[in-house]
Amino acid sequence: MLKTNPKMVKDFFETSQQNIVIDTNRKNLLLKIANEIAANYNNENVNINFICTHNSRRSQLGQVWSFYAADYFNLPISAFSGGTEVTAFHRNTVKTLTDVGFKFDIDVFSHTNPTYRISFGDDKPSLLGFSKLYDNETNKTPYLVLTTCNNADENCPFIPEAIDRFHVPYIDPKHSDDTATQDETYLKTSKIIAAQMYFLFNEIKKLL
């Protein structure tokens, strides 16, 4: 039976921010996002919605690592994700997160798009993960939009619920599916997103 491994998740999160180099342009973008989140904080929770075309890989990683970062830095921020199309929380994304200590339990069974309850500690809150549209009712409004792939940024329609919108693209690990470099590629993507969420939430912490 798979169990959560809080120490493994914590070590991965901290090691990623130590080993991944974030370039100046991305740091400046993350600082803008941190300032926008801080400006919208008024003793109430702030919501972030990661949007990518299929809500399958990058937007899910963004949501999970932000969910973790909010707990790690003790910040009142809720992380959500969605797409302009519905597919599934990709099995390789699930694997790369379970490999570093997250636990995925089936909450709602589906052959095509199961809902997972994601946890990283028995005494910690859990997160529901599944592929959905960006305006799914589970995504609490209003929210700050972070688009994580070019297609979502170009095709994402006007979102009246958005406080603001920032384009934070990541290279899609999909290109490595069913190749010898698959696990390495997904792990690298997870490290990059974890490191950048560490940087972002650390900056928010300084501002609040």
Q: Residue range 174-203: average pLDDT?
A: 98
Beta bridge partners, 80, equal 49
Residue 1 falls within a domain, yes or no? Answer: no
CATH number, domain of 138, equals: 3.40.50.2300
Residue 22 falls within a domain, yes or no? Answer: yes
pTM score over 0.75? yes
* pLDDT tens column, 157-177: 889 999 999 999 999 999 999
Band of pLDDT at residue 2, cut at 50, 70 and 90: low
Spell out the residues 6+ positions from residue 166 whose beta carbon is closer than 8 angstroms to its own: 29, 32, 33, 36, 144, 145, 146, 147
* Count of structural domains, the chain: 1
SS3 content of the chain, % helix, strand, coil (to 5): 45, 20, 40
Band of pLDDT at residue 1, cut at 50, 70 and 90: very low
* pLDDT tens column, 15-41: 999 999 999 999 999 999 999 999 999
